[in-house]
Amino acid sequence: MVELTGVVMSADSLRYLPYVTVNIPSKRNGTTTTDNGVFTLIAEKGDTLEFSSVGYRKKKYIIPLDLTSSRYSIIQLMSQDTFYLTATIIRPRISREEFDREFRSRDIPDDQLEIARKNTNYQTMRMMMAVLPHDGQENQHVYQNMQAQKNYWAGQQPPMTVFSPFAWMEFFKAWKRGDYKRKR
């Protein structure tokens, strides 16, 4: 193992390059340089380092196999990469009325807050509760409530609701509503 410390600089002006990605592709391991272009990385002899930054050409560096020390320092110079974009022609709108008409007809997508409001709407949540299956936490909660209710009356007979005035009141209300009539 080698503790690799280095500085990344621009080749033309020798300025420190901040936030350059220093990567070991074979190990999917890497780091970025600090504000001063300094980086530290643990690697092995023979590993290939890849330096990349926006606006600069990618560089590769192979750690020498004949190192005698467990520490190694490098200075990596990066040259600017120039690339050309295709020409874009920007034309003004013909009239203010046309701009207003196009602006009003444009469909503006919802932002994150509006999407969250729609997803937490009461009717939406009720509909989702009726359609979506329960997750493990909800099933565990129901099971534990059933077990607690069963253990509450452990060792004795659960009460009979025949003597409950509230149960009789519900029975009479259901009878008046016709809940017990035969359906043909």
Q: Same domain, yes or no, for 13 and 73?
A: yes
β-bridge mates for residue 31, sequence order? 22
The four Cα atoms 45, 46, 52, 58 give a dihedral, to 10 degrees, of 150
Q: Same domain, yes or no, for 73 and 119?
A: no
DSSP 26-68: TTTEEEE--TTSEEEEEE-TTPEEEEE-TTB--EEEEPPTT--
Q: Same domain, yes or no, for 50 and 115?
A: no
8 and 76 Cβ atoms separated by less than 8 Å: yes
pTM of the full structure: 0.47
Residues of the chain where predicted confidence (pLDDT) is lower than 70: 93, 184
Cα angle 148, 151, 154; round to 5: 160
pLDDT tens, residue by residue, 69-86: 899 999 999 999 887 888
Q: Same domain, yes or no, for 9 and 67?
A: yes
Last residue of a domain, one of 29, 45, 78: 78
- Identity at 52, one-letter amino acid code: S
Q: What is the pLDDT of residue 83?
A: 77
Q: What is the pLDDT of residue 31?
A: 93
Q: Is residue 179 part of a domain?
A: no
Q: Same domain, yes or no, for 35 and 70?
A: yes
Q: What is the pLDDT of residue 184?
A: 66
For the chain, the domain total comes to 2
Q: Same domain, yes or no, for 143 and 108?
A: yes
Q: Is residue 26 part of a domain?
A: yes
Domain hosting 50: range is 2-78
Q: Is residue 35 part of a domain?
A: yes
